Amino acid sequence: MNKKPLSFCALFASLMFIGKFASAAEMPIAIAIHGGAGTIEKSKFTPEKEQAYRAKLQEAVEAGYAVLDKGGSSLDAITQAVTILENSPYFNAGKGAVYTHDEEHELDASIMFGKTREAGAVAGVKHIENPIHLARLVMEESVHVMLSGQGAEVFAQQQGVQLVDNKVFDTPHRYKALERAKDKMEKAKQQNKEYQAAHQSLDVEYKVGTVGAVALDKSGNIAAATSTGGMTNKRYGRIGDSPVIGAGTFADNASCAVSATGHGEYFIRYNVAADICARVQYQGKTIAEAGKTVIHDVLLPVGGTGGVIIVDTQGNISMPFNTRGMYRASKTNTQPTKVGIFKHD
């Protein structure tokens, strides 16, 4: 029996369906992560240490990518990736957080969703195992954008988050770094009594260190997240750029998603994350052009050190930095996993 040929309308509808299916299948997905930028020199790494850092970066970026590959949201992907980095003692966030002057740990984090520009942040929390989770709860379950200190922890408890002892963030190598920083500042104070001048004598390595992630999902939405233990030997409840929307974290589907790492005071003053996205949106720059301009031409001449990871809604990734190294990794549906530590990786 001969089948009745399709009418023109039916044929057109079938082709449209196939076209939409193919388009959906080809939607780009992408993720990039960082574990901080700074004075990262290959000579200071044993082969075993370098491999351990690379393995953790690869684990985090591939865990985030797996979420995207299964159709998960960019928010879920970056939360997954940053959680892994927070749980590692290698990076200055969560378990690997640096010490304050008072030998405690004060943690900051933020997250932002590019579709709606909703955002959440926490600053100066001491008893939150994964600050990025609390930042997301602030975004999704509160009427605020940023909560700090004790108030943030009261909110956390109301949301069912268990508080942890601050000592769970203790690590021997971070304590040694605190001792070195205090010793350097004490020697500097003997020459100049001002705290500001003494603090400026500290090397870059004491002033930087963050983790972060940016991602694009199959729905075309981008997101960014950043988490940190802040600055070694920090005092007076100092807050850096990581929890500041526009400085350390920014995401807007109209431009790009950015997570920053570096000397936070400069990233706040120059509104780095939002500035990069503004150059993309209003000047028509690529993320590579915008990122390079801000990191190398705006920040570096005034003494701002660090880097950023950037993704746009086409799945392009850029990871510029002006320091000797930046822990970083990326993966897209068209590019395999890439992991880098040093400048020429």
Q: Compute the distance between CA of residue 337 and CA of residue 324 in angstroms, rounded to an integer.
A: 22
Are 146 and 134 spatial neighbours (Cβ–Cβ below 8 Å)?
no
Residue 165: CB atoms within 10 Å: 9
Give the contacts of 102 (CB within 8 A, at least 6 positions apart).
235
CA atoms within 13 A on the CB side of 187: 7
**Catalytic positions, written as ranges:** 210
Residue 121: CB atoms within 10 Å: 29
Q: Compute the distance between CA of residue 40 and CA of residue 43 in angstroms, rounded to an integer.
A: 9
Tokens of 315: 């799945």
